[in-house]
Amino acid sequence: MMTQQKTCLDPVILNLWHPLGAIDEVAACIVVETVLLDESVSFAVDEDRKVFVWRSRTGLRPGDRFHQLAVDDLLPARSAYGYVWTSLGTPSDDIFPIPEYAEADRRKLNAATFGVNVSAPRAIENFLDMGHFPYVHTDILGVEPHTEVKEYDVEISVDRDEILATRCRFYQPMASIASDGGADVEYIYRVPHPYCSVLYKSSPLDETRMDVIAVFLQPLGEERIRAHMMLCVLDDTNADKIIKRFQQTIFGQDKPILENQFPKRLPLDPRAETPIRADKSAIAYRRWLSQKGLTYGVIPVAN
Ligand SMILES: [Fe+2]
Protein backbone atom coordinates (compact mmCIF):
# COMPACT_ATOMS: atom_id res chain seq x y z
CA MET A 1 0.00 0.00 0.00
CA MET A 2 1.40 3.40 -0.91
CA THR A 3 1.79 5.88 1.89
CA GLN A 4 0.23 9.18 1.02
CA GLN A 5 2.85 11.90 0.85
CA LYS A 6 2.17 15.23 2.40
CA THR A 7 4.34 18.16 3.29
CA CYS A 8 5.12 18.47 6.97
CA LEU A 9 3.11 21.30 8.54
CA ASP A 10 4.05 20.51 12.13
CA PRO A 11 5.99 23.55 13.45
CA VAL A 12 7.54 21.53 16.29
CA ILE A 13 9.11 19.09 13.84
CA LEU A 14 9.95 21.73 11.21
CA ASN A 15 11.94 23.75 13.75
CA LEU A 16 13.98 20.81 15.07
CA TRP A 17 17.44 19.73 13.97
CA HIS A 18 17.34 16.41 12.08
CA PRO A 19 20.23 14.09 11.14
CA LEU A 20 20.97 13.37 7.48
CA GLY A 21 23.99 11.07 7.43
CA ALA A 22 27.29 10.05 8.99
CA ILE A 23 30.12 12.43 8.14
CA ASP A 24 32.74 9.65 8.01
CA GLU A 25 30.77 7.83 5.34
CA VAL A 26 30.71 10.54 2.68
CA ALA A 27 33.54 11.61 0.40
CA ALA A 28 34.78 15.18 0.87
CA CYS A 29 33.12 17.77 -1.39
CA ILE A 30 30.82 15.28 -3.13
CA VAL A 31 27.09 16.03 -3.24
CA VAL A 32 24.85 13.52 -1.43
CA GLU A 33 21.09 13.57 -1.81
CA THR A 34 18.60 12.34 0.77
CA VAL A 35 15.05 13.03 1.97
CA LEU A 36 13.78 14.91 5.01
CA LEU A 37 10.09 15.36 5.81
CA ASP A 38 9.15 14.39 2.25
CA GLU A 39 11.47 17.01 0.80
CA SER A 40 14.55 16.27 -1.25
CA VAL A 41 17.63 17.77 0.39
CA SER A 42 21.31 17.60 -0.54
CA PHE A 43 24.41 17.93 1.57
CA ALA A 44 28.17 18.00 1.29
CA VAL A 45 31.09 17.99 3.70
CA ASP A 46 34.08 20.03 2.59
CA GLU A 47 37.80 19.30 3.14
CA ASP A 48 37.66 21.13 6.49
CA ARG A 49 34.66 18.98 7.50
CA LYS A 50 32.38 21.99 7.32
CA VAL A 51 28.86 20.90 6.40
CA PHE A 52 26.46 22.41 3.88
CA VAL A 53 22.82 21.48 3.34
CA TRP A 54 20.36 22.79 0.79
CA ARG A 55 17.06 21.95 -0.87
CA SER A 56 17.75 19.88 -3.99
CA ARG A 57 16.60 22.47 -6.49
CA THR A 58 19.86 23.85 -7.78
CA GLY A 59 22.02 22.52 -10.59
CA LEU A 60 24.13 20.22 -8.41
CA ARG A 61 23.27 16.53 -8.72
CA PRO A 62 24.23 13.66 -6.42
CA GLY A 63 27.86 12.70 -7.08
CA ASP A 64 28.73 16.19 -8.40
CA ARG A 65 31.63 18.11 -6.93
CA PHE A 66 30.32 20.62 -4.39
CA HIS A 67 30.81 24.37 -4.92
CA GLN A 68 29.24 26.68 -2.40
CA LEU A 69 28.61 29.23 -5.14
CA ALA A 70 26.43 26.77 -7.04
CA VAL A 71 23.96 26.66 -4.15
CA ASP A 72 21.83 29.69 -3.34
CA ASP A 73 19.37 28.34 -0.81
CA LEU A 74 21.45 26.93 2.01
CA LEU A 75 19.60 25.47 4.97
CA PRO A 76 20.84 25.65 8.57
CA ALA A 77 23.60 23.06 8.96
CA ARG A 78 25.55 21.58 11.87
CA SER A 79 28.02 18.83 12.47
CA ALA A 80 27.29 16.98 15.71
CA TYR A 81 28.10 13.52 17.09
CA GLY A 82 29.56 12.47 13.74
CA TYR A 83 26.50 13.41 11.66
CA VAL A 84 25.27 16.19 9.42
CA TRP A 85 22.16 17.87 10.87
CA THR A 86 19.78 20.36 9.33
CA SER A 87 16.39 21.97 9.85
CA LEU A 88 13.62 23.02 7.48
CA GLY A 89 12.42 25.67 9.95
CA THR A 90 14.01 27.99 12.48
CA PRO A 91 16.01 25.74 14.81
CA SER A 92 17.40 26.49 18.26
CA ASP A 93 21.10 27.38 18.44
CA ASP A 94 22.18 24.05 19.84
CA ILE A 95 21.47 20.40 19.35
CA PHE A 96 20.86 18.58 22.66
CA PRO A 97 24.05 17.87 24.67
CA ILE A 98 25.79 14.50 25.03
CA PRO A 99 28.74 15.47 27.28
CA GLU A 100 30.35 12.00 27.10
CA TYR A 101 31.00 12.53 23.39
CA ALA A 102 33.89 14.86 24.34
CA GLU A 103 35.70 12.15 26.35
CA ALA A 104 38.84 11.30 24.43
CA ASP A 105 39.10 7.61 25.33
CA ARG A 106 35.73 6.65 23.84
CA ARG A 107 35.19 4.95 20.49
CA LYS A 108 32.75 6.98 18.41
CA LEU A 109 31.12 5.24 15.46
CA ASN A 110 28.06 5.23 13.28
CA ALA A 111 27.10 1.59 13.94
CA ALA A 112 24.59 1.59 11.12
CA THR A 113 22.06 3.57 9.17
CA PHE A 114 18.93 1.50 8.55
CA GLY A 115 15.89 2.43 6.47
CA VAL A 116 12.70 1.38 8.27
CA ASN A 117 9.08 1.69 7.19
CA VAL A 118 7.64 3.04 10.42
CA SER A 119 7.07 6.41 12.06
CA ALA A 120 9.87 7.89 14.16
CA PRO A 121 7.84 7.82 17.41
CA ARG A 122 7.15 4.09 17.05
CA ALA A 123 10.89 3.48 16.70
CA ILE A 124 11.70 5.62 19.77
CA GLU A 125 9.12 3.77 21.80
CA ASN A 126 10.62 0.43 20.77
CA PHE A 127 14.09 1.71 21.75
CA LEU A 128 12.74 2.55 25.23
CA ASP A 129 11.06 -0.83 25.71
CA MET A 130 13.05 -3.33 27.77
CA GLY A 131 10.19 -5.83 27.80
CA HIS A 132 11.00 -7.14 24.32
CA PHE A 133 14.65 -8.02 25.03
CA PRO A 134 14.23 -11.73 25.94
CA TYR A 135 11.86 -12.38 23.04
CA VAL A 136 13.40 -10.34 20.20
CA HIS A 137 17.08 -10.24 21.23
CA THR A 138 17.18 -13.74 22.72
CA ASP A 139 20.53 -14.75 24.25
CA ILE A 140 21.96 -11.26 23.65
CA LEU A 141 20.01 -8.52 25.46
CA GLY A 142 17.72 -10.93 27.32
CA VAL A 143 16.82 -14.56 27.91
CA GLU A 144 13.98 -16.44 29.55
CA PRO A 145 13.15 -16.76 32.41
CA HIS A 146 14.58 -13.26 33.10
CA THR A 147 11.59 -11.50 31.56
CA GLU A 148 10.46 -9.17 34.32
CA VAL A 149 10.83 -5.42 33.75
CA LYS A 150 11.71 -4.26 37.25
CA GLU A 151 10.41 -1.03 38.71
CA TYR A 152 12.27 2.05 37.43
CA ASP A 153 11.84 5.85 37.58
CA VAL A 154 10.71 8.18 34.81
CA GLU A 155 10.54 11.94 34.86
CA ILE A 156 9.86 14.65 32.31
CA SER A 157 12.50 17.27 33.01
CA VAL A 158 10.99 20.71 32.46
CA ASP A 159 14.40 22.44 32.61
CA ARG A 160 16.03 20.32 29.97
CA ASP A 161 12.79 19.51 28.11
CA GLU A 162 13.60 15.83 28.00
CA ILE A 163 12.44 12.49 29.35
CA LEU A 164 14.74 10.69 31.74
CA ALA A 165 14.29 7.05 32.79
CA THR A 166 16.64 5.90 35.52
CA ARG A 167 17.25 2.83 37.69
CA CYS A 168 16.40 0.55 34.77
CA ARG A 169 18.04 -2.85 35.17
CA PHE A 170 17.85 -5.98 33.13
CA TYR A 171 19.65 -9.32 33.07
CA GLN A 172 21.57 -9.56 29.78
CA PRO A 173 23.45 -12.64 28.54
CA MET A 174 25.65 -10.46 26.31
CA ALA A 175 25.18 -6.77 26.93
CA SER A 176 27.85 -5.71 24.42
CA ILE A 177 30.66 -7.15 22.32
CA ALA A 178 33.02 -6.37 25.21
CA SER A 179 31.01 -8.57 27.64
CA ASP A 180 32.42 -11.83 28.92
CA GLY A 181 29.18 -13.30 30.24
CA GLY A 182 25.71 -12.57 31.56
CA ALA A 183 25.21 -9.64 33.91
CA ASP A 184 22.60 -7.40 35.45
CA VAL A 185 22.96 -4.29 33.36
CA GLU A 186 21.91 -0.81 34.40
CA TYR A 187 20.30 1.50 31.88
CA ILE A 188 19.51 5.19 31.77
CA TYR A 189 17.39 6.46 28.91
CA ARG A 190 17.14 10.06 27.77
CA VAL A 191 14.72 11.35 25.16
CA PRO A 192 16.02 14.88 24.53
CA HIS A 193 14.34 15.26 21.10
CA PRO A 194 11.02 13.80 19.87
CA TYR A 195 12.88 11.63 17.33
CA CYS A 196 16.16 10.92 19.18
CA SER A 197 17.03 8.88 22.23
CA VAL A 198 20.27 8.42 24.15
CA LEU A 199 20.85 5.23 26.12
CA TYR A 200 23.50 4.81 28.80
CA LYS A 201 24.36 1.28 29.91
CA SER A 202 26.90 -0.12 32.36
CA SER A 203 30.32 -0.57 30.80
CA PRO A 204 31.61 -4.14 31.09
CA LEU A 205 35.14 -2.66 31.32
CA ASP A 206 34.72 0.13 33.89
CA GLU A 207 32.05 -0.05 36.56
CA THR A 208 32.23 3.70 37.17
CA ARG A 209 31.31 4.63 33.59
CA MET A 210 28.62 3.92 31.05
CA ASP A 211 28.58 3.20 27.32
CA VAL A 212 26.46 5.58 25.26
CA ILE A 213 24.28 4.35 22.41
CA ALA A 214 22.08 6.87 20.66
CA VAL A 215 19.47 6.53 17.98
CA PHE A 216 19.02 9.59 15.79
CA LEU A 217 16.00 9.20 13.52
CA GLN A 218 15.80 10.98 10.20
CA PRO A 219 12.11 11.29 9.27
CA LEU A 220 11.96 10.67 5.52
CA GLY A 221 8.19 10.95 5.83
CA GLU A 222 5.55 10.32 8.46
CA GLU A 223 5.83 6.56 8.18
CA ARG A 224 9.38 5.95 7.00
CA ILE A 225 12.67 6.78 8.63
CA ARG A 226 16.39 6.29 8.45
CA ALA A 227 17.70 5.25 11.87
CA HIS A 228 21.27 6.35 12.54
CA MET A 229 22.82 4.40 15.42
CA MET A 230 25.62 6.28 17.17
CA LEU A 231 28.02 4.49 19.49
CA CYS A 232 30.25 6.21 22.02
CA VAL A 233 31.68 3.29 23.95
CA LEU A 234 34.61 2.15 26.05
CA ASP A 235 36.31 -0.63 24.11
CA ASP A 236 40.03 -0.72 23.37
CA THR A 237 40.04 -4.25 21.97
CA ASN A 238 37.50 -4.88 19.24
CA ALA A 239 37.81 -3.59 15.68
CA ASP A 240 35.24 -1.06 14.44
CA LYS A 241 33.52 -3.60 12.22
CA ILE A 242 33.09 -6.07 15.11
CA ILE A 243 31.58 -3.39 17.35
CA LYS A 244 29.31 -2.27 14.52
CA ARG A 245 28.23 -5.80 13.64
CA PHE A 246 26.96 -6.40 17.19
CA GLN A 247 24.62 -3.38 16.96
CA GLN A 248 23.64 -4.25 13.39
CA THR A 249 22.55 -7.72 14.55
CA ILE A 250 20.36 -6.18 17.25
CA PHE A 251 18.87 -3.59 14.93
CA GLY A 252 18.24 -6.28 12.29
CA GLN A 253 16.09 -8.08 14.87
CA ASP A 254 14.10 -4.91 15.62
CA LYS A 255 13.46 -3.89 12.02
CA PRO A 256 10.78 -6.50 11.13
CA ILE A 257 9.04 -5.88 14.47
CA LEU A 258 8.96 -2.15 13.76
CA GLU A 259 7.68 -2.62 10.23
CA ASN A 260 4.83 -4.78 11.50
CA GLN A 261 3.56 -2.12 13.89
CA PHE A 262 -0.01 -1.09 13.19
CA PRO A 263 -0.85 1.69 12.85
CA LYS A 264 2.58 2.92 11.77
CA ARG A 265 2.01 6.29 13.43
CA LEU A 266 2.01 6.39 17.23
CA PRO A 267 -1.41 6.94 18.84
CA LEU A 268 -1.13 9.57 21.60
CA ASP A 269 -4.50 8.89 23.17
CA PRO A 270 -3.74 6.96 26.38
CA ARG A 271 -6.82 4.85 25.75
CA ALA A 272 -5.74 3.83 22.24
CA GLU A 273 -3.42 0.99 23.18
CA THR A 274 -3.56 -0.40 26.69
CA PRO A 275 -1.83 -1.89 28.42
CA ILE A 276 1.64 -1.42 27.00
CA ARG A 277 4.40 -3.62 28.35
CA ALA A 278 7.20 -1.84 30.19
CA ASP A 279 4.85 1.03 29.88
CA LYS A 280 6.06 3.82 32.15
CA SER A 281 8.55 5.39 29.77
CA ALA A 282 6.19 4.88 26.82
CA ILE A 283 3.38 6.65 28.67
CA ALA A 284 5.71 9.54 29.59
CA TYR A 285 6.92 9.77 25.99
CA ARG A 286 3.38 9.89 24.58
CA ARG A 287 2.37 12.49 27.15
CA TRP A 288 5.44 14.62 26.36
CA LEU A 289 4.67 14.51 22.62
CA SER A 290 1.06 15.49 23.36
CA GLN A 291 2.19 18.39 25.56
CA LYS A 292 4.35 19.63 22.70
CA GLY A 293 1.35 19.51 20.38
CA LEU A 294 3.21 17.18 18.01
CA THR A 295 1.19 16.02 15.01
CA TYR A 296 3.76 14.53 12.60
CA GLY A 297 4.30 10.76 12.87
CA VAL A 298 1.59 10.42 15.51
CA ILE A 299 -2.18 10.10 15.74
CA PRO A 300 -3.03 13.06 17.98
CA VAL A 301 -5.68 12.82 20.67
CA ALA A 302 -9.06 13.70 19.15
CA ASN A 303 -10.54 16.84 20.66
FE1 LIG B 1 15.11 -4.06 20.28
- The average pLDDT across 252-271 equals 94
Are 238 and 146 in the same domain?
yes
Per-residue confidence at 294, pLDDT binned at 50, 70, 90?
very high
pLDDT at 70: 83
Q: Is residue 74 part of a domain?
A: yes
Residue 202, domain CATH: 3.90.380.10
How long a stretch of residues is the chain? Answer: 303
pLDDT at 276: 53
The angle at the Cα of 186, spanning 180 to 190, to the nearest 5 degrees, equals 125
Please count the CA atoms within 13 angstroms of the CA of 147 that sit on its side-chain side. Answer: 8
**217 CA → ligand 1 middle, Å:** 15
Burial class (CB in 10 A: 0-12, 13-18, 19+), 2: exposed
**20 CA → ligand 1 middle, Å:** 22
Residues 52 and 294: their CA atoms lie apart, in Å, by 28
Name the residue among 281, 227, 190 with its Cα closest to residue 20.
227
**137 CA → ligand 1 middle, Å:** 7
| Protein residues near ligand 1, an ion, with CB under 5 A | 254
Are 25 and 112 in the same domain?
no
What percentage of the chain has pLDDT greater than the value 70? 96
Are 73 and 124 in the same domain?
no
Are 55 and 82 in the same domain?
yes
> Is residue 237 helix, strand or coil?
coil
**120 CA → ligand 1 middle, Å:** 14
What percentage of the chain has pLDDT greater than the value 90? 80
Q: Quick one: which H or E segment has residue 290?
A: helix 279-292
**231 CA → ligand 1 middle, Å:** 16
- The average pLDDT across 15-35 equals 97
